[in-house]
Structure 1
Amino acid sequence: MSVHADVSARLAWPADAAAIVRIQLASWRTSFGDAAAEVEALDPVQLTERWTSLISSPHDARLRVLVALERAEVRGFALVHPSFDPDSDQVVDGEVGELVVDAAHQRNGHGSRLLQAAIDTLVADKFSRAVWWIGTGDDALRSFVTESGWAPDGAHRELESATGATVKQVRLHTSLV
């Protein structure tokens, strides 16, 4: 007899905000080692309030937060919205703003479920193209995304933190039609 985990992806509820913050901060501690002091200075309570607000009353109806679940436990989250890049058309271009799976639960299909839910949500919102900014040093995520059919579109950027740490990113895109 085989036992199958109860796994799914759905729109986030306000009650999911604390779990999203826990996963996000853990990911940032790993990803942004140069800005570790900034990550540690963030207030989890304030972040939870911001995520709760974002989930409850987004400034754009096409801004959505999705969660990956194993039973009732949040294992990851994704944020999708219109692309706000200056060279984007907000009617045509959607964006995966963030997609993070708890490190302890990676390689269990949660990322694939979240990505599919993100794509389905962008398609339902009538976007025909999606973009995603990926850290240039995040080889695992970039590999996952490119294996899912995304490709670089030539755009790149550098984001500077308050302490001067620099995050380099490349933009990937995919057609949704």
Structure 2
Amino acid sequence: MSTARVRAAVVADAPEIARIQRVTWRTAYADLLGEQAIAALDESIEQHWAEAIAHPATTVYVATEGEFTVGFCVAGPAPEDEVANASGTLPEDADRTGLIATLLVEPRWGRRGHGGRLLADAARGLRQRGAERGISWVAESDSASLSFFRRAGWRPDGTVRTLDTGERRLRELRLTGQLDLELAG
């Protein structure tokens, strides 16, 4: 049996992270995002991930199983525009709120606990940086991701946003939850 782990990404992981994003978007999100958004994931996406990995305010985590990189997660302080209430005001804990910006597991590696391990490690890292709660944005029609976060105790907080992918409008719910996550045996 292969060993599953989560570790902080290094710049050399950028090509695999980009590959996972391309595969996952094509497999799981094509209907939500549209072909235009999928096609926009060209080779420059690797540079984007290399820059994200090197950014001092965020941590990119990768999930591995044996020798394979199977998923990734990006976590860091929540920017004011991400944590603000619908009215634009900041909650009292804005400076103690972390953001799970992305959490993707390649579909063929799903249902093996990689997402839970990524979220737990990202939550631990956010707590170490002083965050007390987390937020993440999830497409309203992405029932698998919504169920995943609900199992972790995260719930919609009533704030929504609409993104324009170029050919579709994607409505997202902001989820919030505690960062004291523990994996069940």
Unaligned runs of 5+ in 1: none
- SS at 1:95's partner residue? strand
Any idea what SS the aligned residue of 2:34 has?
helix
Does the aligned pair in 2 maintain the 1:95–1:131 contact within 8 Å?
Answer: yes
Change (3 A) 1:141 1:125: same
What is the number of residues matched between the two proteins?
Answer: 169
- The unaligned stretches of length 5 or more in structure 2 are 85-89, 181-185
Residue 131 of structure 1 deviates from its aligned partner by: 0.4
Find 1:51's aligned residue among 21, 39, 49.
Answer: 49
Distance in 2, Cα, partners of 1:7 & 1:175: 24
Instruction: Check if 1:64 corresponds to 2:68.
Output: no
Distance 1:122 1:176 in 2: 8
For 1:76 and 1:41, locate their aligned partners in 2 and report how far apart those are by CA, in whole Å: 20
Question: Partners of 2:10 and 2:103 in 1: how far apart?
Answer: 16
Q: Is the 8 A contact 2:83 2:135 kept in 1?
A: no
Provide the C-alpha distance between the structure 2 equivalents of 1:10 and 1:26, rounded to a whole number of angstroms.
21
Q: How much has 1:83 moved relative to structure 2?
A: 1.2
Cα RMSD (Å): 1.6
The offset of 1:176, in angstroms, is 2.9
Q: 1:85-116 CA deviation, whole Å, 9 max, x = no partner?
A: 25155521101001000101001111111111
| 1:72 shift after superposition | 2.6
* Separation in structure 1 between the aligned mates of residue 46 and residue 175 of structure 2, nearest angstrom: 29
Larger deviation, residues 126-135 vs 19-28: 19-28
Q: How many angstroms apart in 1 are the aligned matches of 2:128 and 2:57?
A: 9
Deviations 1:94-146 (A, max 9, x none): 01001000101001111111111111111111101100101101101101110
Q: When the two structures are superposed, what TM-score results if normalisation uses the length of structure 2?
A: 0.85
Task: Tell me, yes or no, if structure 1 residue 15 matches structure 2 residue 18.
Answer: no
Report the identity percentage: 31
CA distance in 2, matches of 1:90, 1:27: 31
Which of 151, 158, 165 is the matching residue for 2:155?
A: 151
Q: Partner amino acid for 1:9?
A: V
1:80 aligns with 2:79: no
TM-score by length of 1: 0.89
Q: Deviations over 1:38-80 (max 9, x none)?
A: 312431x211111112212x1xx33110000112311000001
Among 107, 117, 120, the residue aligned to 1:103: 107
One of 116, 129, 133 as aligned partner of 2:133? 129
- Give the secondary-structure state (helix, strand or coil) at the position aligned to 1:91: helix
